[in-house]
Amino acid sequence: MIVVIMGISGSGKTTVGTLLARRLGWTYYEGDEFHSPANIEKMSRGIGLCDADRLPWLASLKRVIDDCVARGAHAVIACSALRERYRRMLSEDVPEIRFVYLKGSFETIRGRMNCREGHYMKSEMLESQLAGLEEPDDAIVANIEQSPPTITSLIESELGAIAGSKS
């Protein structure tokens, strides 16, 4: 199974993703590490990415997903996956992929972004992230007002229910 932790910047994808991967004993992949230096530089200047910028990044993540599937390896991947077409691209030919949407208020996420240090994505880009977000209809939804361990437990429970319903 591949689990993609998605949501806008500042929603807690890295925190929840690393915790979930550790609990499950799965490999964790940080989506930000697959951005090109040009994309990171662009975002650090407060310029949002367009589809032409995102497509090579998404293609890199898709290769990771396909490699994990080919090896029969489980993985947790943090990736914003803001639009439905991005999620379709990542999930193509991967029936065992599950998206987890970390959902929270503008105020909570802005506060988190303003407190973090050393990240290229600044809170000034929050509105453009929200404008580009197409909330998923078929994801596990977790409220980010809860603690990361609580969110992780919810995800584990939901994944278990999904796996159990297929038996």
Q: Considering the entire predicted model, what is its pTM?
A: 0.87
**What domains lie within the chain, and their CATH numbers?**
2-160 (3.40.50.300)
Q: Judge whether 159 and 98 are in contact, CB under 8 Å.
A: yes
Please count the CA atoms within 13 angstroms of the CA of 107 that sit on its side-chain side.
1
pLDDT at res. 68: 97
Element counts in the chain: helices (H) and strands (E): 7, 5
CA distance 127 to 10: 12
Segments in the chain below pLDDT 70:
111-126, 161-167
